[in-house]
Structure 1
Amino acid sequence: MTNRPEAETSTYAVVIPAYNAAATIATALDSVFAQTVPAAQVIVVDDGSADGAQLAAVLAAYGDRVRLVRQANAGPAAARNTGARLCDSEWIAFLDADDSWLPHKLERQLELGRDPRAGLLHGNARERRPAPPREMDFATLWECNRICTSMTVVRRRAFEALGGFDESADLVGAEDYHLWLRIAHAGWRVLACQELIGHYTPAYGSITSRIERCARAELYNATTLGERLRVPQAQVEAKTRAIRTDFGQHLLHARRMPEARHLLTQALASRMSLRGLGLWSATFVPAPLLDLRRRLRNG
């Protein structure tokens, strides 16, 4: 990897995929235009929204500062790729239409980007949450994805070399994690601003709220990418077991007992654990009793 001139590394484009986002897009865009380091390009990709006319009306208020691109619905990965192909800046900053940035976000991140080995920059997106590690290698990132897509900035050269986001329908909900792992595996540094740099506020009904679909995508990601990158089988098995246990717990909290029990049974079949066994047992408890316990615990 060769270093680029300092002036070039300070340029970035913003890509915002939008699906039925007319109600939230203004907040996202206002946070972009409030940055202490201005963007060279701002591209909104309408991914076949039902509210496309309303979205266009909102964007019209920003004039030629925002470029609107429309496509038939193809999912978030395809929308981000469409926007990225139109970028010519050194960095591509991704922002979902229901999230927002703090004004200093890009200024802080581009300071980290002076390192020519930096390929992916991110940062803290929630208050009262532990700050992400200053740096994550592939092994650390494989253990757990602590990267919020709306806080990411990717070096365009790395993005293009790796082919961008995988648009497979089986990956919807994990396509971002899939790319982060490939970036780390390719040898690029993954660096984080540990301070709060934005707000992750997913809209009701967003992909991240669809537990079962995300679980399937995470499992597909772990098994297929594990094989592709030759991750040791024991690590792949540990990863899939953790995914089934974690999503089983999410489903239990949502009181989706049969679905939770199914995932937890699979996890326990792989390896018995006290945590998994406790969660599995809880799926047989009547939901009103679990709700009562939750109320008592929360005071």
Structure 2
Amino acid sequence: MAPSSPATATDYTVVIPAFNASATLARALDSVMAQTVPAREVIVVDDGSPDRADIARIVAGYGGRVTLLLQDNAGPAAARNAGVRASGGEWIAFLDADDSWLPHKMQAQLALASDADVGLLHGAARVDRMSLPAEMGFDLLWRANRICTSMTVVRRSAFERLGGFFEAQGLIGAEDYNLWLRIAHAGWRVRACEGLVGHYTPAEGSLTSRIERCALAEMRNARELGELLGLSRRDIRWKLRTIRTDFARHLIHARDPLPARRLLVHALFERPTLERIVLMSVSYVPTPLLDMRRRLRKGGQQTLYSL
């Protein structure tokens, strides 16, 4: 459970995993240095990056204000865990090297950190996704992950008691959601501050662009974590169907229909719904026709029928 007294509200460490990040790392670090509440320390973890020399040069440019850790490539979870182990802050702020913060980000979030049972803070990273619940319990978080990793701040004691990020390679793409769920399930409060606090700008070829791999990671997470936390088979099956449907929609939008169908067929077999039937049908529509519909779409509204 939560510690007996609240941590110092301004004592935080920033952990940034870096892999092929030389094109964006300076922007991320500049946004950290611009915070109205300065960090205790900033740690960049080079995760066996091919551009290691460039990463080192960028870090050196901050004149000792940034610590660089080196490790063989082991994935983002292992890199974040290594950064936390090397740090001393009572709060850990995670930032990916291709994202950035607004200057008030940490000040706004740490204002919510005084209660001793708060374990996770987050906020919006996209203008079109600013409507976040002020607080999320486990049930709401299980329904959908609305937390951007680069906007999270985790209480160290919560992180350590739960064992940090799980480092299994098959969870890459879902390892962050796995931890948020465990934090909420353990009884820690998950709070969001109002308004935009940063910018989510994934680099070309980043993990989030590998949609099918992320879908498989999310399904593994649902199965393994559901069993670990003692969730009902009904809840786990519902989650798996939801993952298959959501990622099939993303794949169709990315014009990659074959893996979309592979995901949808299982969900359709278990629970046929109008949404899944429409998605399966749309996956067979020729790409030029879908692209024409997208160009003609007015008002910028994203709907099931305007993929």
TM-score range, shorter chain: over 0.9
Counterpart residue identity of residue 69, structure 1: L
For residues 147-181 of structure 1, the C-alpha deviation after alignment (integer angstroms, 9 at most, x for no partner) is 00000000000000000000001100000000000
The equivalent of 2:235 in structure 1 is 235
Residue of structure 1 in register with 2:87 after alignment: 87
Q: Which residue of 2 aligns with 1:217?
A: 217
How much has 1:95 moved relative to structure 2? Answer: 0.3
**Gaps (5+ residues) in structure 2?**
300-307
Cα gap change, 1:196/1:265 in structure 2, threshold over 3 Å: closer, same or farther? Answer: same
Task: Give the drift of 1:58.
Answer: 1.1
Aligned to 1:48: 48
Residue type of the alignment partner of 1:204: E
Residue aligning to 2:122: 122
Other structure's SS at 1:193 match: strand
Partner of 1:63, secondary structure, is: coil
1:252 aligns to what? 252
CA shift at 1:182, angstroms?
0.2
The alignment status of 1:146 with 2:146, answered yes or no, reads yes
Distance 1:102 1:244 in 2: 34
- Aligned 8 A contact 1:14 1:43 in 2: yes
| 2: CA distance, partners of 1:293 / 1:9 | 50
4+ residue runs of structure 1 moved beyond 4 angstroms? none
Shift in Å, 1:136: 0.1
C-alpha distance in 1 between matches for 2:57 and 2:283? 47
2:303 corresponds to: none
Cα distance in structure 2, aligned partners of 1:59 and 1:184: 34
CA contact (8 A) 2:20 2:49 kept: yes
* CA distance 1:267–1:62, shift in 2 (3 Å): same
Identity, in percent, stands at 62
**Residue 109 of structure 1: aligned partner:** 109
| Deviation for aligned residue 1:203 | 0.5
Secondary structure at the aligned position of 1:9 is classed as coil
Q: Tell me which residue corresponds to 1:22.
A: 22
Q: More deviation in 106-115 or 252-261?
A: 252-261
Task: Point out the more displaced range, 258-267 or 157-166.
Answer: 258-267
Letter in 1 for 2:94: F
- Unmatched tracts of structure 1, length 5 or more: none
| Aligned match of 2:5 | 4
For 1:5 and 1:158, locate their aligned partners in 2 and report how far apart those are by CA, in whole Å. Answer: 12
The one-character-per-residue Cα deviations of 1:118-171 (angstroms, maximum 9, x if unpaired) are 000000111132321000000000000000000000000000000000000110
- C-alpha deviation, 1:256, in angstroms: 1.4
Q: CA RMSD in A?
A: 1.2
Q: CA deviation at 1:5?
A: 5.6
CA deviation string 1:58-89 (max 9, x = no partner): 11110110000000000000000000001111
Q: Is the 8 A contact 2:6 2:116 kept in 1?
A: no
- Deviation string, structure 1 residues 93-123 (Cα, Å, up to 9, x no partner): 0000011111111111111110100000000
Distance of 1:35 and 1:4 partners within structure 2? 26
C-alpha separation between the residues in 2 aligned to 1:257 and 1:197?
A: 35
User: Aligned equivalents of 2:30 and 2:278: distance in 1?
Assistant: 46
Distance 1:27 1:88 in 2: 24
Q: In structure 1, the residue corresponding to 2:128 is in which secondary structure?
A: coil
Mapped to 1, the partners of 2:129 and 2:145 lie a distance apart of 14
Q: CA deviation at 1:200?
A: 0.6
The secondary structure found in structure 2 opposite 1:173 is coil
Could you tell me which residue of structure 2 aligns to residue 67 of structure 1?
A: 67
Aligned length: 298
Q: Distance in 2 between matches of 1:293 and 1:102?
A: 36
Please give the alpha-carbon distance, in whole angstroms, between the structure 2 residues aligned to 1:183 and 1:75.
21
Structure 2 CA distance for aligned equivalents of residues 2 and 23 of structure 1: 40
Distance 1:130 1:28 in 2: 21
